[in-house]
Structure 1
Amino acid sequence: MDNDAIHDLFSGLGPVTIKRMFGGKGIYFNGLIIALEVDDKILLKADNTSSPDFVAAGCRQWRYTGKNKPVDMPYWSIPDDAFDDPDIMTEWAKRAYEASLRARK
């Protein structure tokens, strides 16, 4: 996904900063990471508080194969309906930002 499309996707939240990382991109809001772009997919940050919402929405958690076992990461796919509705996307982006705020404490 190109940077303009990422900025558009998160426009309801506010201006985001995009930095290259891990062969993908980190997406930041107010200096905190809220999402990743990995393999052309946007993944939103979640935590123990917000991950049940992602599960309920049918999202998939990012998992990669570490040393001999899979490793679950605190990033989840975006619900399908959020791609078509900026208001819904903004709500999910806010959840990701709130997870980053909680992680900072």
Structure 2
Amino acid sequence: MSVDEGLYAWVEEALEPMGPVTMRRMMGAAVLYLDGVIFAVLDESEIWFKSDGETDAVWDGEGCGRFTFRAKDGRTETMNYRSAPSDVYDDAEAMRRWASLGREAGTRAASTRKKR
């Protein structure tokens, strides 16, 4: 797996008004940060936005599936990331709207970890 550099450039361009986007490569994908907060993952040419219990209904309403993968023991696992709606790939306003939800979920997740 590799990260689509053109897609990353598009994310940076579309989200520039919201703050700096940075990328950290991990296991063939890349974690994206907006102003230092995890908000999405790039996996090949797909964007997966961070989600949580507060935003799940919004993602479900748009038909955005949950990130799933097969664990080493064969079980199917899920993570709190949702597939991006198709309009984020060519509409900067849509990208900002959905990235904002991802950043909100990322902020809440970081806050929860600090409390532990």
Q: Same fold (TM over 0.5)?
A: yes
- Structure 1: gaps (5+ residues): none
User: Which is richer in helix?
Assistant: 2
Structure 2 CA distance for aligned equivalents of residues 95 and 7 of structure 1:
16
Alpha-carbon contact 2:31-2:41 (below 8 Å) kept: yes
- Structure 2: gaps (5+ residues): 112-116
Which residue pairs with 1:99 in the alignment? 105
Which residue pairs with 1:23 in the alignment? 28
Give deviations 1:8-56, integer Å, cap 9, x for gaps: 2433432101111121111001222111111321110000111111111
Q: How does 1:2-81 map to 2 (within 5 A)?
A: 2=5, 3-66=8-71, 67-81=73-87
* TM-score, L = length of structure 1: 0.89
SS at match of 2:97: helix
SS at match of 1:11: helix
Structure 2 CA distance for aligned equivalents of residues 104 and 81 of structure 1:
28
Give deviations 1:64-96, integer Å, cap 9, x for gaps: 011221101111111112323211211111100
Larger radius of gyration: 2
Structure 2 CA distance for aligned equivalents of residues 13 and 51 of structure 1:
22
Structure 2 CA distance for aligned equivalents of residues 72 and 9 of structure 1:
28
- How many residues are aligned here? 105
* TM-score, L = length of structure 2: 0.81
Structure 2 CA distance for aligned equivalents of residues 12 and 22 of structure 1:
29
Alpha-carbon contact 1:12-1:86 (below 8 Å) kept: no
